[in-house]
Amino acid sequence: MRWLPPVPEHWNEQRAKTFFREVDERSKTGQEELLSVSHLTGVTPRSQKKVTMFKAASYVGSKLCRPGDIVINTLWAWMAALGASRHVGIVSPAYGVYRPHRADNFNPAYLDYLLRTRAYVAEYIGRSTGIRSSRLRLYPNQFLDIALVQPPRPEQDLIVAYLRAQDAHIARLIKAKRALIDLLTEQKLRIIDHAVTSGLDESVALKPSGIEWLGHVPKHWDVALLKHVADVRFSGVDKHSHDHEIPVRLCNYTDVYKNDEIADSMELMRATATAGEIARLTLNAGDVIITKDSETPDDIAVPAWVPNSLPGVVCAYHLGLLRPEPGRIEGEFLFRAIGSARIAEQFHVLATGVTRFALSKHDVKNAVIPLPPIEEQKAICKWISDECKPLEEAILRAEDEIKLIREYRDRQIADVVTGQVDVRGWVPGPDDGVADEDLAVLGGDEELDTNGEDDDGDD
């Protein structure tokens, strides 16, 4: 195949239909292990995930998969949201599940490495159909026609052992970088928390705030309910497009969760909204967007700030839009305050739920916020920006280093699983072992859960 590099002569290379068949086995109870299909970690139990997920009310009728099956998120194959399962579990009924004709044809871990290499992802994109790149679908006949590279099974096992050993070293390096990022982030949060709750002048007289968790605040500050300083608007705009609605760009949950600021340069999803939704939820300069529901209380009320007006960009569902009252509160100060650990804690406590936590509009409106005079708010925001800049630059450097490490890993995997690097003479060393929980860091913080809100609602 021209899209694959030349492979060793003793390796087999045949279309996927030679080795796999599509199956459609359904769950009758929905009680099996719920599996997440990720573009970074393949098919893994959702219970192991640390990123925000979205759950359905029932999983009866979900597709069953078994160890050795290939599971593909049909809608997100172009982003490599697929892999070989090591578990018995359930996935979305919209996904493709492919079962091997013979269990010994492939080591599932070898397939997991192979199927997410860049060459294969490019082939999925080329064979997928759809109007827009973000809505390409890889259907069964298209996947089963793709060539799979098959080394002898003992060589597959050795390739897996070699790559896991390399992953052990890479995982330790990434963990060290992550630990540094955590320390820098903690220092940044302490700076913000002190500034937005105590101000910049250590000599100023204090007064009891009347709120136990807030403690004392500067004597000349107010303590206000959020509804008195900002207009609170919840969104119900989904990601679907309708002919009778107006095209827009959506600021989604993940856009807010991953970024401090929402900017026009971001790659935002395209959808449609009604004229009324556009009038009410278009992002204006100074707006603060918060997450209003999540699987964990800690992910409630995560804020992002809108520095400049964004015509045509609309706040999407799972989010709340806070529009500051001019002259009362600066949008940037509101963003900093809600991001403060002490102030955010009240949202975590207010969030209700069992498997999913959510804030009501009443909760948000009646949240408490310290309120300095408007000029002091501006001074606090500038001081925070100046103090946090070196920390943020150090965090970005560490994140860039992690990206480079991952790029090296991707290149190494591609070379080994296609036989460009011969590992048959490799012997494991004493430091080559790694626990599964250590390998979890290879997934990355940017992981997208494609089993939930991003899989076109097919769960």
Note the Cα 404 to chain centre separation in Å: 19
d(CA 350, CA 335): 19
What is the pTM for the complete model shown? 0.80
- The predicted pLDDT at position 133 comes to 61
Which DSSP letter does residue 95 get?
S
Bridge-based pairing of strands 310-315 and 246-251 is parallel
Task: Kindly give, in sequence order, each residue whose CB lies less than 8 Å from that of residue 131, ignoring residues fewer than 6 positions away.
Answer: none
Among 100, 94, 98, which residue's Cα sits nearest to residue 61? 94
d(CA 183, CA 395): 10
- Report the residue count for the chain: 459
CA distances from 236 to 52, 241, 252, 318, 321 (A): 19, 14, 11, 7, 11
Give the sign of the dihedral formed by CA 328, CA 332, CA 335, CA 339: negative
- The predicted pLDDT at position 410 comes to 94
d(CA 314, CA 330): 21
d(CA 226, CA 335): 12
Tell me if 154 sits within 8 A of 10, measured CB to CB: no
d(CA 374, CA 333): 9
Task: Kindly give, in sequence order, each residue whose CB lies less than 8 Å from that of residue 218, ignoring residues fewer than 6 positions away.
Answer: 198, 199, 201, 204, 205, 206, 207, 372
Task: Kindly give, in sequence order, each residue whose CB lies less than 8 Å from that of residue 51, ignoring residues fewer than 6 positions away.
Answer: 445, 447, 448, 449
Phi/psi at 324 (5° precision): -60, 145
Give the sign of the dihedral formed by CA 42, CA 44, CA 48, CA 50: positive
Note the Cα 355 to chain centre separation in Å: 19
Q: Which domains can be identified in the chain, with CATH numbers? A: 12-173+400-442 (3.90.220.20), 203-371 (3.90.220.20)
- The predicted pLDDT at position 228 comes to 97
Note the pLDDT tens digit of each residue in 9-19: 999 999 999 99
Q: How many CB atoms lie within 10 A of CB 83?
A: 27
- The predicted pLDDT at position 241 comes to 87
Tell me if 81 sits within 8 A of 73, measured CB to CB: yes
- The predicted pLDDT at position 47 comes to 77
Residue 370, amino acid: P
Tell me if 312 sits within 8 A of 249, measured CB to CB: yes
pLDDT in tens, the chain (459 residues): 689 999 999 999 999 999 999 999 999 999 899 998 888 888 988 877 654 445 667 889 999 999 999 999 998 898 899 999 999 999 999 999 999 999 899 999 999 999 999 999 999 999 999 866 667 899 999 999 999 999 999 999 999 999 999 999 999 999 999 999 999 999 999 999 999 999 999 999 999 999 988 999 999 999 999 999 999 999 999 988 888 999 999 999 999 999 999 999 999 999 999 999 999 999 999 999 999 988 777 888 999 999 999 999 999 999 999 999 999 999 999 999 999 988 988 888 877 766 578 889 999 999 999 999 999 999 999 999 999 999 999 999 999 999 999 999 999 999 999 999 999 999 987 776 655 556 666 765 444 444 443 443 333
Bridge-based pairing of strands 42-45 and 35-38 is antiparallel
**Over the range 352-385, which residues count as b (16 or more CB within 10 Å of their CB) and which as e?**
eeeeebbbeeebbbebbbbbbeeebbebbbeebe
d(CA 440, CA 459): 25
d(CA 65, CA 88): 6
Which DSSP letter does residue 72 get?
E
d(CA 225, CA 334): 12
Residue 178, amino acid: R
